[in-house]
Structure 1
Amino acid sequence: MTSFNEDTHPLPSNISELSARQDSLARTLQNAAQKGAIFILLAMLVVGFSAAQPAFINVVNLMSILQAVSVVAILGAGVTITLAVGGFDLSIGAVAASSVMAASYSMIVWGFGVYATLPIVLAFGAAVGLANAVLIVRLRVPDLLATLAMMFLLTGLQLIPTAGRSISSGLILPNGTTSTGAYDPHFLLIGRYSLFGTIPIPVIIMIIAAIMLFVLTENTRVGRLLFATGGNEVATRLAGASTARLKTMAYVISGTLASLGGIIIAARVGRGDVSSGASLLMDSVAAALIGFAVLGLRRPNVFGTVVGAIFVGILLNGLTMLNIPYYTQDFVKGVVLVGALALTYGLGRSRP
Structure 2
Amino acid sequence: MTSQDTAHAAPPLDPHGAASSRRPGWDAIREAVRTSAVFLLLAGLLVVFAFAQPAFLTVGNLMSILQGVSVVAIIGAGVTVTLAIGGFDLSVGAVAASSVMAASYAMIVLGLDATETVLLVIAFGALVGLFNALLIVRLGVPDLLATLSTMFLLTGLQLIPTAGRSISAGLILPDGTTATGRVDPAFLLIGRSSLWGTIPVPVVLMAAFAVVLFVLTEKTRFGRVLFATGGNEIAARLAGANTARIKIIAYGLSGALASVGGIIVAARVGRGDVSSGASLLMDSVAASLIGFAVLGLRRPNVFGTIIGAVFVGVLLNGLTMLNAPYYTQDFIKGAVLVGALALTYGVARNRA
TM range (shorter): over 0.9
Asked if 1 retains the 8 angstrom alpha-carbon contact of 2:30 and 2:351, the reply is no
Q: Secondary structure at the match of 2:349?
A: coil
Q: Which residue of 1 aligns with 2:282?
A: 282
- Residues 81-106 of structure 1 deviation map (CA, whole Å, 9 limit, x = unaligned): 00000000000000000000000000
Q: Distance in 2 between matches of 1:130 and 1:332?
A: 37
Work out whether 1:192 is the aligned partner of 2:192. yes
* Matched residue type, 1:237: R
Work out whether 1:118 is the aligned partner of 2:118. yes
Moved over 3 A (4+): 19-22
Q: Distance in 2 between matches of 1:316 and 1:166?
A: 27
Q: Distance in 1 between matches of 2:351 and 2:121?
A: 51
Q: Distance in 2 between matches of 1:229 and 1:278?
A: 31
- Residues 161-219 of structure 1 deviation map (CA, whole Å, 9 limit, x = unaligned): 00000000000000000001000000000000000000000000000000000000000
Q: Distance in 2 between matches of 1:162 and 1:328?
A: 36
TM-score by length of 2: 0.94
The two structures, once aligned, show a CA RMSD in angstroms of 1.5
Contiguous gaps of at least 5 residues in structure 2: 1-9, 13-18
Q: Which residue of 2 aligns with 1:127?
A: 127
Map 1:147-296 onto structure 2 (within 5 A). Answer: 147-296=147-296
Shift of 1:21: 7.0
Contiguous gaps of at least 5 residues in structure 1: 1-14
* Matched residue type, 1:310: V
Work out whether 1:341 is the aligned partner of 2:348. no
Q: Distance in 2 between matches of 1:222 and 1:147?
A: 23
Shift of 1:48: 0.3
TM-score by length of 1: 0.94
Shift of 1:24: 2.1
- Identical-pair percentage: 72
Shift of 1:336: 2.3
- Residues 138-166 of structure 1 deviation map (CA, whole Å, 9 limit, x = unaligned): 10000000000000000000000000000
Q: Distance in 1 between matches of 2:209 and 2:337?
A: 24
Q: Distance in 2 between matches of 1:22 and 1:313?
A: 39
Q: Distance in 1 between matches of 2:220 and 2:351?
A: 34
Q: Which residue of 2 aligns with 1:40?
A: 40
Q: Distance in 2 between matches of 1:33 and 1:201?
A: 35
Moved more, 325-334 or 71-80: 325-334
How many aligned residue pairs are there?
Answer: 338
Asked if 2 retains the 8 angstrom alpha-carbon contact of 1:225 and 1:236, the reply is yes
Q: Distance in 2 between matches of 1:346 and 1:320?
A: 30
Asked if 2 retains the 8 angstrom alpha-carbon contact of 1:289 and 1:337, the reply is no
Shift of 1:16: 6.2
Q: Distance in 2 between matches of 1:335 and 1:258?
A: 27
Q: 1:65 to 1:106 in 2, by over 3 A?
A: same
Q: Secondary structure at the match of 1:348?
A: helix
Q: Distance in 2 between matches of 1:264 and 1:320?
A: 23
